[in-house]
Structure 1
């Protein structure tokens, strides 16, 4: 225990020395960096206080994960090579996923494809990405990447093979498809592993929706960095909340089970992937229609109530937006933007990140400073919202029906941990931006 605490203190010292040794700029003063550092410690402290077993927390895992996340952010924010690599990746992803335009244009016509609406601008890219992922899986390329990346996190952070694979897969596949990679193991996962798998899904976005956010005007470099940073961060947050107290079946082993769907060739794989992408797209449509309708129905009632107590435009996101103001301050947003950032974070929780990013790039575009925009981008980059809770419960219960009660019990905790993961990433961005 003493060694683990010493290791944690060393990691914290490295972070403090680094952020204070960097030259100050107009948008990143040492005071602002100190606030963001304090915010990161507050987020970690709150999760630790809610831990199910304080004595079982492995601080080597937590400290190692935070160090990996910080070093990655430092590489991206403060090195020319890091900025160039992630800028190129952002441009490549935007250009590659943008090729879905040609399929949309052929099916619906150029006029519809050029309309710029969400339905024809984003959802075809989701279907296209689903096909690409399935082709890569058929070729064995996806398994090769995930197994090797999983071995790194398993070795460095001391987590199980199943957790490593799902954490690495989440930025590619998203919150539902990631668990399908370890379907045979799901009934046998420990409680901590199940919580971690759900947290990984809530803590990041998927590659299938990446193009949609970039098309809205969100920084692709920030989105990609946040996705990669979410891998160690989700592991750290989940292990603080639910430390491992059992013996995982895949401890010390990274094994990818074979998929039950056997594709005959590349065309068959592309077709299967397109079908999966269509299901995801329909789920996105259903969630947007349902959640936005419910949100505005609740807001109509609150506005009607507000007229009696002389509060203009009283809405759910206005109320919770003020609740999120302290969190906006802790992640390092500028003081002038705290209410705006808080409202965007509220929109993300009550609706989803699609709505929040759309508002950030339209309604709030000229209201936020560059610093507030970048930390807000990181804070919103995850599927931690109420609609996703139902999606995860439905998918995981289908894959492991005997664990349905436990999955339902863990879902809200995992969603909150996923939100905390994005806030920790945002606070690190606030230290280095």
Structure 2
């Protein structure tokens, strides 16, 4: 039965993407088929094989060690604030972002990350049938973050046509920044985080290839990555430490505001209509959860969490997921993979603002297709979750 539902889920995702396609006649199906097959193979390896288990354990243990190292700095600065045995969310989940951001800065400085990103991007461009710029951007977004990635190609921003700009922004919204992956792993199972990261990379290209099909000519396919102003090692270190702290504070502020706002709206809806706002959204999103592979008996709860991510962010949704203790492990896995992306309303403003800071005209272009961007990025999450459901 789950195979029939998975096929239905894939057809629904592709149908919804086809519905808003800019150019239905020029969709190239060969690269699409290759990428879907790759997603299926990678999903199977990560979720159903010893190799995948070994890989996920290796990545998870690496981040666990990094979080332990981060804990030394947090303990030094904030020791004594927490009660014995207690772990405040801000200290245990968000502040380690500062340390991981620092490591990313070091890897950037010694040219390890730029090398990896550029050559993985080149390999991807051979598979996805898109340009080098799009492929570079997808990999770089997962490392640098959805707003910072545009700085690395700021020389080209003004020259990028609208159709290519959509794909760049869709990639940024469909992935997550490496600096906060450790925080996710404290909230949901690491294997679902890793699975989502891999599947979303190809999923972003798949959905963009349907929604926004085009072919990049060789003379247009120029990748000019901005290295940025040369800094000393300690200047760079200070910048990345502060950037990590800003991310942690920003996420904390958004959580504080969104969790409180949703609690208030839930209370008002419950008082007036006898049903909470999240429960209402759950009924709306339940059919989508069902085609992802969630049993119908759990579809409303799963839909509620999915909707929470869309209207707030993935952190709020992951916190909500922990409240549903009656969910089956299969449903938790499917929903967890859905949650690992930046596809939410606030990301429209973040991406449009980042681009506008570099080029006002292009920022306005991004803002105009903001809802279509969110629609496509959400379909990427649904696609990844559907494939996950096939192997759980």
1:262 is the counterpart of 2:222: no
Contact 2:314 2:341 in 1 (8 A): yes
Q: CA deviation at 1:246?
A: 6.6
Q: Deviations over 1:178-199 (max 9, x none)?
A: 2222121122212222111221
2:381 and 2:170 mapped to 1: Cα distance? 11
Q: CA RMSD in A?
A: 2.0
Match of 1:82 in 2: 52
Match of 2:250 in 1: 283
1:46 is the counterpart of 2:16: yes
Q: CA deviation at 1:220?
A: 0.5
Matches within 5 A, 1:11-50: 31-50=1-20
Match of 2:196 in 1: 226
Change (3 A) 1:110 1:64: farther
Q: 1:124 aligns with which of 92, 95, 103?
A: 95
1:176 is the counterpart of 2:147: yes
Change (3 A) 1:338 1:204: same
Q: CA deviation at 1:39?
A: 0.2
Contact 1:291 1:387 in 2 (8 A): no
TM-score by length of 2: 0.94
SS in 1 for 2:214: coil
Match of 1:108 in 2: 78
Q: CA deviation at 1:227?
A: 0.5
Q: Deviations over 1:276-314 (max 9, x none)?
A: 2122223223322333344344444433431xxxxx2x3
Contact 2:36 2:206 in 1 (8 A): yes
Q: Deviations over 1:300-353 (max 9, x none)?
A: 4433431xxxxx2x3322211101101111010123211111111111111211
1:163 and 1:285 mapped to 2: Cα distance? 31
Match of 2:312 in 1: 351
1:299 and 1:96 mapped to 2: Cα distance? 37
1:250 and 1:232 mapped to 2: Cα distance? 23
2:260 and 2:157 mapped to 1: Cα distance? 34
Match of 1:201 in 2: 172
Matches within 5 A, 1:144-159: 144-159=115-130
Contact 2:171 2:204 in 1 (8 A): yes
SS in 2 for 1:159: coil
1:33 and 1:199 mapped to 2: Cα distance? 28
TM-score by length of 1: 0.85
Matched pairs, number: 391
Contact 1:166 1:181 in 2 (8 A): no
Match of 1:332 in 2: 293
Q: CA deviation at 1:428?
A: 0.5
Q: 1:272 aligns with which of 229, 239, 248?
A: 239
1:396 and 1:405 mapped to 2: Cα distance? 9
Contact 1:171 1:228 in 2 (8 A): no
Contact 2:310 2:344 in 1 (8 A): yes
Q: CA deviation at 1:245?
A: 6.2
Match of 1:417 in 2: 376
Match of 2:388 in 1: 429
Q: CA deviation at 1:167?
A: 0.6
Contact 2:130 2:216 in 1 (8 A): no
Match of 1:398 in 2: 357
Q: 1:162 aligns with which of 123, 133, 136?
A: 133
Match of 1:99 in 2: 69
Change (3 A) 1:372 1:179: same
1:79 and 1:169 mapped to 2: Cα distance? 28
Q: Deviations over 1:237-258 (max 9, x none)?
A: 112111226758752x5x3523
Q: 1:318 aligns with which of 279, 290, 297?
A: 279
Contact 2:289 2:302 in 1 (8 A): yes
Change (3 A) 1:261 1:115: farther
